[in-house]
Amino acid sequence: MRPINLADCQETKEFVIIGNGPSAITLSYLLAGNWPYYKPSEPHPNIELNARLTSPSDSETFSDQLDLSTIPLVKRDLQYLSNGLPGRSRNPVSILFDALQHPDADIGSDIPTALSWSFHPEKSVSHLVLGSGPPGGSWQKMKDCNNTLTISLGTWMQLPNLNIRQWSCDTKRESRVPLGRVAKYYRDYVKCQDLEKYFLNNSQVTRLEYNEDDALWKVSVMEEKVGHFTISTPRVVLATGVNEKPNKLGIKGESFPFVIKSLTEFEKVLSNLDRTVCNDPVLIVGAGLSAADAVITARFEGIPVYHAFRRHPDDPTLIFNQLPGNMYPEYHKVHQKMKGKSLSTDYKAFPMHCISEIRANRTVVLTNLIGAEYNGLGDSTRTTLQVSYILALIGRRANLDFIYPKRLRSQLLQHPTQPFHSRNNPIAINPFTHECLNVEKLYAMGPLVGDNFVRFVQGGALAIANHFWSSSPAPISPSSSSSEDSPDDP
Ligand SMILES: Cc1cc2nc3c(=O)[nH]c(=O)nc-3n(C[C@H](O)[C@H](O)[C@H](O)COP(=O)(O)OP(=O)(O)OC[C@H]3O[C@@H](n4cnc5c(N)ncnc54)[C@H](O)[C@@H]3O)c2cc1C
């Protein structure tokens, strides 16, 4: 397959997708002409969903004789199909797609997908996928993490129509899989599904702006080899994820070089660390899975750990209280340590503490939040620690700074006066098309709209492709000579 070149990029495409992670890859697969169909031969265990899939909605104008299994989901009424489905996403099409890909997965079933896929090359929609690194998005930053396992089951990490177990020739049928393997699967997926021609990797979108004069979006790109160029397009999809910028501690001393903000950076530090010179404990800040991974890594390397976090270890919203111990033994062990139940000389937890000052001599001041709350005097218990490094793993956030005018960044959000937050303040979208509520022809998917698991990001791709096919009967296509309907169309 001929790799994409700059001339290809500069033709006007129907879509420009910003980001090249699982969200963008799935959308590219659908836009390339790969369409999902419901397989009524293996009826979905949800009887109501099966009934809706096999009989049209009031607004669907298919002939009565038509077998609905010949109608791809990109042309069905998604509002009707997703009505009332229970699931772990705020977005109904994400729940629908997941219910079809992994029927009854949340009650532990391993029922095969209810979807079959068919390739219609004549239906491919021209598009360009731009991503700052190799295909796979955030996962490429984890490509060397072969000892850390996914939180999700391996099969939940897969993208349409390429079984991850078959791809990896996995005979052991492991439940969770190493992060590095998932990164490789996404890179290979783009190759195996013949999507490379749509991907311009290692390219950073530096500016996105709507041009009223020609009613097109202008996307400014900095590509590693060719430098800067601009593309115009009628539709843009934001699939940039939420891992771009580390959250700030917001305290004095945060910018000292011994304050690090990612596990990858920590691993680099560890590989060069001279233990004879630097033997003080590392202070890990945060109570999420990345902080737990850091505790595991530090303990594995024999480095003593101080661990400070704001919440109580029994707080039900803490991720550890939501993961069954038998499936996640490594995180369960860290949680026990956080509770003070598994004592060791090399680990000390500071629950309900925040870090209030970092000094140049590598001393850190922790404040006990309980003290602050109870004595009501604004005075609280403070502890000063000597550390070698501070590893602040307190979450990351989206970077929408490439969007102009600046005010648009906040106008896109559900609550424009508050900062973006994947769960509490995502980008506001039409739930059935994923088009931004406040901006036409700008779409958003993945964690930007609150879908934080790969299982769910894929429904956004269906919503966007479905909107395209229901609103654009004659798209610009690389092979635009063949935009007539295929025999399976109603
Ligand atoms: C450590 C870790 C473990 C995880 N484990 C799991 C798990 O077990 N199961 C699960 O389902 N999910 C897991 N997730 C979440 C999962 O990674 C995300 O849900 C998923 O990657 C989201 O896909 P995406 O394509 O929307 O975004 P991303 O994968 O984040 O990809 C977006 C890409 O866009 C790029 N980008 C951003 N801005 C620009 C720009 N201006 N120009 C060009 N490119 C840009 C980013 O650099 C990034 O490469 C985990 C995440 C992390 C960090």
Ligand 1: residue whose CA is nearest its atom 34: 19
pLDDT for 106 beyond 80? yes
Enter the DSSP assignment of 344.
Answer: B
pLDDT of amino acid 76: 96
- The region of weakest confidence among 56-60, 97-101, 377-381, 389-393 is 377-381
Q: What residues does each domain of the chain span?
A: 6-243+398-482, 247-395
**Chain-centre distance for alpha carbon 77:** 26
Ligand 1: residue whose CA is nearest its atom 41: 205
Ligand 1: residue whose CA is nearest its atom 4: 150
With residue 268 as reference, give the H or E element that holds it. Answer: helix 263-272
For residues 63 and 112, which has the higher predicted lDDT (pLDDT)?
Answer: 112
- Mean predicted confidence (pLDDT) in 304-311: 96
- The region of weakest confidence among 111-120, 319-328, 383-392, 456-465 is 319-328
When pLDDT is cut at 50, 70 and 90, the band that residue 306 belongs to is very high
Atom of ligand 1 nearest to the CA of 242: 30
DSSP 154-192: GGGGPPTT--HHHHHT-SS--SS-BHHHHHHHHHHHHHH
pLDDT of amino acid 485: 35
Q: Give the whole-angstrom CA distance, residue 264 versus residue 278.
A: 19
When pLDDT is cut at 50, 70 and 90, the band that residue 286 belongs to is very high
Render pLDDT for 230-249 as a digit per residue (tens, 0 to 9).
Answer: 999 999 999 999 999 999 99
Please, what is the Cα angle at 244 between 131 and 283, to 5 degrees?
140
Give the pocket of ligand 1 (CB within 6 Å): 18-24, 130-133, 137-139, 142, 150-152, 157, 204-205, 239-241, 243-244, 290, 399, 402, 446-447, 452-455, 457
- Mean predicted confidence (pLDDT) in 69-85: 95
For residues 159 and 373, which has the higher predicted lDDT (pLDDT)?
Answer: 159
Q: How far is the CA of 446 from the centre of ligand 1 (A)?
A: 8
Q: How far is the CA of 138 from the centre of ligand 1 (A)?
A: 4
Tell me whether domains 6-243+398-482 and 247-395 share a fold.
yes
- The region of weakest confidence among 10-24, 86-100, 169-183, 475-489 is 475-489
pLDDT of amino acid 478: 40
Render pLDDT for 381-391 as a digit per residue (tens, 0 to 9).
Answer: 899 999 999 99
- Mean predicted confidence (pLDDT) in 83-110: 93
Q: Is domain 247-395 annotated with CATH 3.40.1350.10?
A: no
Buried b (16+ CB within 10 A) or exposed e, 312-341: ebeeeebebeebeeeebeebbbbbebbeee
The preferred substitution site among 138, 141, 145, 228 for testing ligand 1, maximizing ligand atoms within 8 Å of CB, is 138
pLDDT for 125 beyond 60? yes
pLDDT of amino acid 397: 92
What count of residues does the chain have?
490
- Mean predicted confidence (pLDDT) in 370-374: 62
pLDDT for 375 beyond 80? no
DSSP 412-445: TBSSTTS--BTTTB-B-B-TTT-BBSSSTTEEE-
Q: Identify the architecture of domain 6-243+398-482 in CATH.
A: 3-Layer(bba) Sandwich (3.50)
Render pLDDT for 434-490 as a digit per residue (tens, 0 to 9).
Answer: 999 989 999 999 999 999 999 999 999 999 999 999 886 554 444 333 333 333 332
